[in-house]
Amino acid sequence: MTNARPSSKDRLESYRALVAAAVEVRDVFADADGMHLEIDGMDPGEPERICALPHACPTANRELILHHIDIPADLIAMLERTGKHLQAAWAENERLRKEIERAGGAPAKNYAAECAMKCEEPAFQRFMAERHDLKLPTDKDKTATRVKFVLALNSRKELNENAPAAARWRRIVQDFDEWRRGR
């Protein structure tokens, strides 16, 4: 039996916890056997050896071991900064697209794709049945046909080309979201 891999968010959190719990190297010394890393031991003033690297250990491996806390901590910080930067860029992109749409330009999203995905959702199909007289049982094709009828469309691609059609679609999505919250 295979265990499901934890989500990226959960894995990142576990890596962060590991780095935070790791003990920093107190001392590094070399002798005839190689390089040794020590941390503070359980007894005050008594270091404990946690690693012995033979002279044959490649330099890159040695550096990775020496910086076993700094490197992952730095990488985690880079990921967090990148994530914040991407969120800000996405928000700005969405703001600009909505501004263009308000000025009469192309719709801000790929509403045709969103509509196709919604038509596959059983909850959206039930919503269309309850609110827009779609006969049950239904499927994605029948739901799509009903959506086009309700929105007075010949094709879903009109949702991306026609601002009034896009506005009508957004109202249906808002109604669906309210309907789902009320259940």
The two tokens of residue 155 are: 């094709």
Q: What is the pLDDT of residues 29-44, one digit of tens each?
A: 999 999 999 998 888 7
Final residue belonging to a domain, choices 8, 39, 68: 68
pLDDT < 70 stretches in the chain = 1-2, 101, 104-108
* Residue 131: inside a domain: yes
pTM above 0.75, yes or no: no
* Residue 117: inside a domain: yes
Q: Say how many domains are in the chain.
A: 2
* Residue 81: inside a domain: no
Final residue belonging to a domain, choices 68, 103, 127: 68
* Residue 156: inside a domain: yes
pLDDT of residue 109: 76
* Residue 176: inside a domain: yes
CB 127 within 8 A of CB 180: yes
Range of the domain at 152: 111-181
* Residue 101: inside a domain: no
* Residue 51: inside a domain: yes
